[in-house]
Homo-oligomer: A and B are copies of this chain.
Amino acid sequence: MLRPILERRSVRRFTKRAVPENLLRIIARAGQRAPTSCGTQFYSFIEIRDARKRRAIISLLGRNQTLESAPVWVFICCDVARPLTMFKALKLDCHLGEVTGLLHSVVDASLSAQNMVTAAENLGLGSVFTIYHWKALREISRLLKLPNRTLPLLLLCIGYPDERPPLRPRWDLDLVLHKNEYASPTKKAILSNYRRANRTLVQMKYFRPDIQSLDENWQRKFATEEMALREKKLRMELQRRGFLPKRI
């Protein structure tokens, strides 16, 4: 019964087979079954099927094999707006500060998101989360007509798998699961863990041809200069959308 969780891999290539709408509704319902603070459900799902909308999004994010091969995209959004509208309709004296709303909604949206990928797996579908759209948060939010206090957090791609990748390595459990208090790993444990993961990924041919190792891959993804730019953009956009105070 644990198989769909313990053996799930992200799928990045999909067949052309369409995903029926009723399956997508089951997946969304599975998302809604995740725990949520006081039943508020600080999230919205935006299903993208319209060809014109897809083209507009691709033209913002650049061409991308994973996106283009996935028959369905779902933007999993933080949504503090709907619960606040509800509180107002009920004339409640309730409030949610920017950071409180950010934490509640990122948690709620992510818990739901994980239920959605497990449900997809159970239905024989493949899926992958992407954050390609973080580089164009403002434009994507406008395209999705997102009101203030909503945020497109994850872009979930769903479809029938056209690949069966191997299970990817994870940190040794003992470096992640602590007993009674946090124990910082030694440099030796970290490096031995790294070497094992890297060896496995090289054997799996996980990297693009121009990348030889996991550290190169991280260097590319988390390069200081690009990360500084991402941080600046994220901060500005979170402030603009009501998820960070204008001033701290």
A contact residues vs B (CB 8 Å cutoff): 1-2, 4-8, 10, 25-26, 28-30, 32-35, 37-41, 43-50, 53, 77, 81-82, 85-87, 89-90, 92-100, 103, 106-107, 110-115, 117-119, 122-123, 128-129, 131, 143-147, 150, 153-154, 168-171, 173, 175-182, 184-185, 187, 190-191, 194, 197, 201, 214-215, 217-219, 221-224, 227-228, 230-232, 234-235, 238-239, 244-248
Question: Do B190 and A231 have beta carbons less than 8 Å apart?
Answer: no
Task: Find chain B residues with CB under 8 A from A214 CB.
Answer: 39
Q: In the complex, what residue of chain B is closest to A46 when comparing beta carbons?
A: B178
Question: Do A180 and B48 have beta carbons less than 8 Å apart?
Answer: yes
Please report the C-alpha to C-alpha distance between residue A85 and residue B188 in the assembled complex, in whole angstroms: 11
Question: Which of B35, B90, B97, B221 interacts with A128 by CB under 8 Å?
Answer: B35
Task: Find chain B residues with CB under 8 A from A248 CB.
Answer: 235, 239, 244-248
Question: Do B219 and A92 have beta carbons less than 8 Å apart?
Answer: yes
How near does chain B come to A77, taking the closest CB pair, in angstroms?
8
Task: Find chain B residues with CB under 8 A from A97 CB.
Answer: 227-228, 230-232, 234-235
